[in-house]
Amino acid sequence: MTEKLSVEIRKENGKHAARRLRRSGNIPAVLYGHKEETVPLTIKGEDLSRVMRHGARFVELIGAVSDTALIREMQWDTYGVELLHVDFARVSADERVRREVAIELRGEAPGVRAGGVVQLILHSVDIECPAMAIPDKLQLNINHLELEGVLRVSDLSPPENVTILTDKESVVVQCVVPLEMPEEAAPAAEAIEPELIGRKAEPEEGEEGVEEK
């Protein structure tokens, strides 16, 4: 099911206007692509949050414009907390697009029970698929990953109509023996007791002490 987003035309541009929009609970955005004019938009923050929670990438814009689009980019503040701006790219539902999607490991590797550790080498892959069929992530089952074993991009099972563009021989995950911790350094040589200042030296054997006057 395609998510719908109600949008309005943004009449003011610039940093100050954008700040005023965000203070009022709205997010500035822009729609471009298909060699058509670029349109500045405004979206309600709560509507966009709903779409983000559902993991949607392909949306239908309604209201001031009527179009289907891909959420191409989201600009966040330095701390990754406040959403500052959204870019929408015009696409049709059956148009094939390229995206980067994350890899999620599922299951338990037998190699871990044999003393190994699982290392995720490749966190995402590039794919091509219809705009309305972009997966949120690709899952990789590691239930057969033995100690010293590897799983490659070719072991991923993408949904129908999804083509993986990343090299099939690229290693995604491996199970390896953990590196041995270096042995603790030998204890330092026993410290020599420092001579106490002002302490009278003991006479050596056969040496008479100085007679005190």
Domain-embedded: residue 81 = yes
What per-residue confidence (pLDDT) applies to 1?
Answer: 61
pLDDT at 201 over 70: no
pLDDT digits (tens, 9 = 90+) for 120-174: 999 999 999 999 899 989 999 999 999 999 999 999 999 999 999 999 999 999 9
pLDDT at 50 over 80: yes
Domain-embedded: residue 85 = yes
Are both 68 and 116 inside the same structural domain?
Answer: no
What per-residue confidence (pLDDT) applies to 196?
Answer: 47
Neighbours of 98 (CB within 10 A): 11
pLDDT at 54 over 60: yes
Domain-embedded: residue 211 = no
Are both 42 and 77 inside the same structural domain?
Answer: yes
**b/e map of 39-65 (b: 16 or more CB within 10 Å)?**
bebbbbeebbeebeeeebbbbebeeee
Least reliable range by pLDDT among 33-42, 140-149, 185-194: 185-194
Q: Which domain holds residue 148?
A: 97-176
pLDDT at 102 over 50: yes
Are both 75 and 136 inside the same structural domain?
Answer: no
Are the beta carbons of 61 and 67 closer than 8 angstroms?
yes
Domain-embedded: residue 152 = yes
CATH code where residue 157 lies: 2.170.120.20
pLDDT at 209 over 70: no
CATH code where residue 8 lies: 2.40.240.10
Number of structural domains the chain divides into: 2
Last residue of a domain, one of 91, 110, 132: 91
Are both 168 and 127 inside the same structural domain?
Answer: yes
Are the beta carbons of 178 and 141 closer than 8 angstroms?
no
The pair of three-digit structure tokens given for residue 167, joined into one six-digit string:
């090299």
The rounded distance, in Å, linking the Cα atoms of 95 and 130 is 5
Are both 11 and 84 inside the same structural domain?
Answer: yes
Are both 25 and 71 inside the same structural domain?
Answer: yes
pLDDT digits (tens, 9 = 90+) for 63-98: 999 999 999 999 999 998 889 999 999 999 889 999
Are both 33 and 79 inside the same structural domain?
Answer: yes
Domain-embedded: residue 43 = yes
The rounded distance, in Å, linking the Cα atoms of 76 and 80 is 5
pLDDT digits (tens, 9 = 90+) for 4-21: 999 999 988 888 999 999
The reported pTM is: 0.70
Strands (E), 45-188: 58-63, 67-76, 83-90, 96-106, 117-120, 124-130, 137-141, 150-152, 163-164, 171-176
Last residue of a domain, one of 55, 74, 91: 91
Are both 83 and 101 inside the same structural domain?
Answer: no
3-class state of residue 79 by DSSP: coil
Are both 56 and 79 inside the same structural domain?
Answer: yes
What per-residue confidence (pLDDT) applies to 2?
Answer: 78
